[in-house]
């Protein structure tokens, strides 16, 4: 679970950095080239950044799901042991 949170925090930092890049590009002026190309990135580079962010987000979700499953499984095993002890 903790690893999932760390990965998620990394994803959010990547998103913030990308948004900041786009914001500085938009503040550069209306007469500059359109979109991300003004920052020196081509569309393929922007798509690669987006793909990395999406992949990291999927890893974060997968780790979160695994952590939740393991937490439930370990709790279930302990509950079964407690039930058997009192029966």
Contact 60, 11 (CB under 8 A): yes
Q: Which pLDDT tens digit goes with each residue over 18-43? A: 777 777 766 665 555 555 555 566 67
Sign of CA dihedral 57, 59, 60, 64: positive
- Return the domain boundaries, the chain: 2-86
For the chain, give the percent of residues with pLDDT over 70. Answer: 77
Q: How confident is the model at residue 8 (pLDDT cuts 50, 70, 90)?
A: confident
Q: Which pLDDT tens digit goes with each residue over 42-59? A: 677 778 888 888 888 888
């Amino acid at each position: 679970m903790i690893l999932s949170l760390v990965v998620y925090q990394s994803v959010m930092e990547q998103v913030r950095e990308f948004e900041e890049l786009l914001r500085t590009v938009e503040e550069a002026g209306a007469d500059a080239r359109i979109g991300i190309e003004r920052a020196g990135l081509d569309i393929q580079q922007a798509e690669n950044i987006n793909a990395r962010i999406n992949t990291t987000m999927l890893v974060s979700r997968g780790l979160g799901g695994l952590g939740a499953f393991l937490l439930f499984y370990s709790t279930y095993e302990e509950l079964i042991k407690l039930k058997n002890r009192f029966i």
